[in-house]
């Protein structure tokens, strides 16, 4: 029996249908932005670290139409009723309803003096809920790009600039490299305004700079992206149904993880753990408690793994690249919030499969790099063994590497 590969309904049709249901006409435009997978890196150091990411074929969609009364009305496939508010009411509020990310992003546009008016919009997503796939960044970028298409504007480091001109078909030119960086920073600040934490720049960068059949080496410190082919392998995500347990509860959330990493860096006199060499960490061990030392060892080691993995990808050595995923999982397993009975079992099963080059736990799932010609058998075997051992149905998700938005 074949594994149940999760292929959603055509989400582009779904978002149009949602718009027509609530607003009784066909939307003049639809925007989609891919989510992302993080293959390696950035643990505890997201605002200053290195990571290897990929834009994947799970999208945030927004269908929209302008209106002239200065009001905004939103419909979501995850909400029963619409939300309406004036353009002047962009405070997400303490309750953080489902519209909070939209309001936070619009507030950042307004802060940059972007001129826009009201609109109706329907929001839909094919990004699996509960998985760490850059959900916020994809939705926020979809909104910002939708506003750009309805009410054209340019975006510099200091704010809005001269709007781009439409061509004879009414289309805007694609975003140039500097403008993509500015959109990514806008999204990062929108997320930070909601969470109170420094948000990850790699997420919007991956959604903007993605390229089919390529992974992305992202340097958050210098806001650079380098593309490297990853041809012949499949990325397979295996969602889990359990919450983390055991030693992982020590650091049970990404915010706590980042906070501890910053505290350790401060104790070592560094801006971030990226600036700390392993020799300095070992020499300063007396300054840290065991938990801090273990976390710092992982983050510093993860930076080294990303650098080595980039070299393996440039050499087209996918087997060696996969080894760094195994190493990353083992390093993080003791304290990162990804440890559960299900993830442990999935990693063990993946190790036994001849086609799996590497795997690691990510929040809510395991991420597996599998030789493409073994992908179907990998999903079938893992699904069968997982259900036999735990009595739980496994639904693997195959992710293709796709073009970014903008």
Per-residue pLDDT tens digits for 390-402: 999 999 999 999 9
Name the band, by pLDDT with cuts 50, 70 and 90, for residue 263.
confident
Least confident of 47-56, 86-95, 183-192, 363-372: 86-95
Least confident of 120-124, 203-207, 337-341: 337-341
Least confident of 40-54, 94-108, 368-382: 40-54
Most confident range (mean pLDDT) of 204-213, 294-303, 325-334 is 204-213
Looking at residue 244, its pLDDT comes to: 43
Average pLDDT over residues 292-302: 90
Give ∠ CA 171-176-178 in degrees, rounded to 5: 145
Given a contact cutoff of 8 angstroms between Cβ atoms, the answer to whether 366 and 244 are in contact is: no
Averaged pLDDT score across all residues of the chain: 91
Average pLDDT over residues 362-381: 96
Listing DSSP states for 152-197 in one string gives --EE-SSSEEPPPPP-TTSPPPPPPHHHHHHHHHHHHHHHHHHHSS
Query: Where does the chain hold its CATH 3.30.70.890 domain(s)?
Result: 234-399
Name the band, by pLDDT with cuts 50, 70 and 90, for residue 92.
confident
Looking at residue 347, its pLDDT comes to: 97
Looking at residue 332, its pLDDT comes to: 86
Least confident of 28-37, 114-123, 359-368, 369-378: 359-368
Name the band, by pLDDT with cuts 50, 70 and 90, for residue 198.
confident
Whether 318 shows a pLDDT value over 50: the answer reads yes
Task: Give the integer Cα–Cα distance in Å for 20 and 182.
Answer: 33
3-state class (DSSP) for residue 86: strand
Whether 47 shows a pLDDT value over 80: the answer reads no
Instruction: Kindly report the length of the chain.
Output: 406
Indicate the fold that domain 234-399 takes in CATH: Alpha-Beta Plaits (3.30.70)
Looking at residue 1, its pLDDT comes to: 40
3-state class (DSSP) for residue 9: coil
Task: Give the integer Cα–Cα distance in Å for 379 and 234.
Answer: 11
Whether 338 shows a pLDDT value over 70: the answer reads no
Dump pLDDT digits (tens) for 161-189.
999 999 999 999 999 999 999 999 999 99
Q: Which residues pair with 225 in a beta bridge?
A: 218
Looking at residue 248, its pLDDT comes to: 34
Whether 243 shows a pLDDT value over 70: the answer reads no
**Cβ neighbours of residue 313 closer than 8 Å, sequence gap 6 or more:** 52, 215, 228, 229, 230, 321
Average pLDDT over residues 190-194: 93
Indicate the fold that domain 11-223 takes in CATH: Ribosomal Protein S5; domain 2 (3.30.230)
Name the band, by pLDDT with cuts 50, 70 and 90, for residue 2.
very low
Residues above pLDDT 90, as percent of the chain? 76
Give ∠ CA 115-121-127 in degrees, rounded to 5: 115
Q: Which helix (H) or strand (E) holds 319?
A: helix 318-332
Task: Give the integer Cα–Cα distance in Å for 370 and 358.
Answer: 7
Task: Give the integer Cα–Cα distance in Å for 68 and 195.
Answer: 32
């Amino acid at each position: 029996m074949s594994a149940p590969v999760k292929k959603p309904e055509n989400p582009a049709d779904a978002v149009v249908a949602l718009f027509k249901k609530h607003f009784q006409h066909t939307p003049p435009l639809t925007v989609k932005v891919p989510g992302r997978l993080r293959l390696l890196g950035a643990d505890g150091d997201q605002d200053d670290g290195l990571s290897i990411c990929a834009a994947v074929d799970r999208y945030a969609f927004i269908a929209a139409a302008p209106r002239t009364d200065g009001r905004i009305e939103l419909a979501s496939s995850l909400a029963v009723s619409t939300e309406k508010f004036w353009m002047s009411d962009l405070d997400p509020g303490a309750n953080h309803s489902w519209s909070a990310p939209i309001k936070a992003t619009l507030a950042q546009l307004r802060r940059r003096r972007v001129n826009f008016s009201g609109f109706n919009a329907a929001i839909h997503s094919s990004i699996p809920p509960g998985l760490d796939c850059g959900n916020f960044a994809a939705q926020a970028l979809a909104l910002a790009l939708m506003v750009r298409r309805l009410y054209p504007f340019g975006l510099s480091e200091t704010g809005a600039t001269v709007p781009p001109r439409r061509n004879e078909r009414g289309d805007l030119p694609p975003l140039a490299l500097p403008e993509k960086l500015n959109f990514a920073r806008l999204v990062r600040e929108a997320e930070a305004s909601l969470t109170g934490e420094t948000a990850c720049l790699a997420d919007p960068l991956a959604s903007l700079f993605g390229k089919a059949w390529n992974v992305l080496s992202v340097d958050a410190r210098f806001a650079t992206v380098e593309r490297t082919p990853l041809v012949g392998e499949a990325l397979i995500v295996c969602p889990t149904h359990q919450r983390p347990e055991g030693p992982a509860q020590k650091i049970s959330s990404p915010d706590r993880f980042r906070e501890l990493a910053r505290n350790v860096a401060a104790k070592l006199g560094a801006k971030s753990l990226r600036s700390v060499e392993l020799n300095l960490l070992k020499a300063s061990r007396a300054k840290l408690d065991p938990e801090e030392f273990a976390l710092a060892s992982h983050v510093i080691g993860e930076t080294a793994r990303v650098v080595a993995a980039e070299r393996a990808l440039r050499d087209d050595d996918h087997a060696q690249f996969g080894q760094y995923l195994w190493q990353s999982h083992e390093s993080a397993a003791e304290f990162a919030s990804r440890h559960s009975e299900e993830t442990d079992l999935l990693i063990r099963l993946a190790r036994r499969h001849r086609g799996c080059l590497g795997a690691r736990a990510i929040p809510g799932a395991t991420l597996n790099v599998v030789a493409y010609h073994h992908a179907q058998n990998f999903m079938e075997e893992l699904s069968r063994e997982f259900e036999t051992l735990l009595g739980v149905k496994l639904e693997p998700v195959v992710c293709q590497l796709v073009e970014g938005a903008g």
